[in-house]
Structure formats: structure tokens, C-alpha cells
Amino acid sequence: MSVTEPSWETHPVTPDRFEDFADVINKNRRPTHCWCLSHRIQTKEITELGGTGKDAREKAMRALCEREHPPGVVTYLDGEPVGWCNIGPRAEIPRLAQSKLMLPVDDVPVWSIVCVVVRSGFRRRGVTAHLIEGALEYAAAHGAPAVEAHPVDPGDQRMDLTMAFVGTRAMFERNGFSVVGTTAAVASKLPRLVMRRDLTS
């Protein structure tokens, strides 16, 4: 009996894919749960985009999905949304652009990955590799010369992965990233690296 190969697709989180994004990061649509906004906009802008109601954060994220560069990509396994990657031009991610701890290593107008989420029930199935590769393709299609991430290198140390929003060094090395610098920021008491994948070669 033949075995059907899984089908993988990754798409920007445009307004028509918002519910798929929400299924990955906030299945029950809880207003106080993460909507992946903290690196993108400040509290004042959440109010400007989403109002003051209990669903303000959700509305603000919906508004970001209407911009020229939607704030990330959703990966699908056999048509079901299973992963989310928050990615965009570093200049459009205020918490990075204004950071005193995570300074740019040069003047290359990189795109940055600030969050990677695999939907509960789909971990250890290869989602992350497809998700990151899809994010790179999205960035390349919009002219990004390179993509950076700021993971940690835990070595033999156990760590709380919920605090490392872009994962570990090994995760990105498997996707073709190389270390190009370090930062003054930490996660789980470990320093964050600067890892980059060139998209021009």
C-alpha cells in the first residue's frame, strides 16, 4: 500500500487567513491571551487600531494583517494551519528597531523573525523546518536581502522554551542560519545570539 506524502504550504497572514493564524496561537480566542503584538506595536497603538474593548488586541492584529507586509506567515499541513512565524522588516518591528540590547550588526536592511509557534498537537512532526523555510521564501519574495533571528545557545543546559520565543541555535542552524554576532539580551538567563541567513546568493 502506498503512503501519501504530507502536503505543506506556507502563506502570509493576510486578512482572509486571520482565523487560521488564530487557530494556531489562540484557539479559544481569549482576549488576554497572546496575539503576537508585543514586538510590533505599543499599548497606545493597540488602542488606535483596535479600540478599547476586550477584543482590542485581536482587532489590532487584524489591522496589521492589512498592511503591505503582513506580520508573518502561517504554515499548513494537509490544509490545516499548524504553525506561525512572526517575521518582517526589522525597521517595522519597533521593539527591535528601538532596542538598546539587540543592536544591528551592520547596515543590511534585514528582516527579522521574532516568534515561532507550532500548534499544540503537531509538535515533533517537522513543522518548524517548513515554517521557517516558508518565512524565508516570503521575505525573499519581498526583496529581503537576509533574515535574522535571535535564539539562544543552551548547550547542555535545560531551559524554558516558552521564554525563548525564537527557539535555539540548533533549530536555526538546521535551517541554514549562521551566527554573525551576539546581543546584550538574555532569555532563560542565556544570551541571545544574532543568526542570519543570506537570501541573495
State residue 162's pLDDT score. Answer: 47
Domain extents in the chain: 8-12+70-198
State residue 159's pLDDT score. Answer: 57
CB-based contact 89:69 (threshold 8 Å): yes
3-state secondary structure the chain: CCCCCCCEEEEECCHHHHHHHHHHHCCCCCCCCCCCCCCCCCHHHHHHHHCCCCCHHHHHHHHHCCCCCCCEEEEEECCEEEEEEEEEEHHHCHHHHCCCCCCCCCCCCCEEEEEEEECCCCCCCCHHHHHHHHHHHHHHHCCCCEEEECCECCCCCCCCHHHCCCCEHHHHHCCCCEEEEEEEEEECCEEEEEEEEECCC
State residue 163's pLDDT score. Answer: 44
Q: Report the amino acid identity of residue 94.
A: P
Tens of pLDDT, residue by residue over 96-111, are 999 999 999 999 999 9
Tens of pLDDT, residue by residue over 126-170, are 999 999 999 999 999 999 999 999 998 877 666 555 444 678 888
Residue 192: pLDDT over 70: yes
Beta-strand relationship, 146-149 and 111-118:
parallel
Q: How far apart are the C-alpha atoms of 170 and 146, rounded to whole Å?
A: 19
Residue with cell 521557517: 132
Tens of pLDDT, residue by residue over 35-88, are 999 889 888 888 999 888 889 999 999 999 999 999 999 999 999 999 999 999
Average pLDDT over residues 173-195: 90
* Topology (CATH level 3) of domain 8-12+70-198: Aminopeptidase (3.40.630)
State residue 57's pLDDT score. Answer: 92
Q: Report the amino acid identity of residue 119.
A: R
Residues 6 or more apart whose CB falls under 8 angstroms from that of 128 comprise 83, 116, 118, 167, 171
Q: How confident is the model at residue 1 (pLDDT cuts 50, 70, 90)?
A: low
Beta-strand relationship, 190-198 and 178-187:
antiparallel
State residue 16's pLDDT score. Answer: 97
Q: Report the amino acid identity of residue 95.
A: R
Q: Report the amino acid identity of residue 154.
A: P
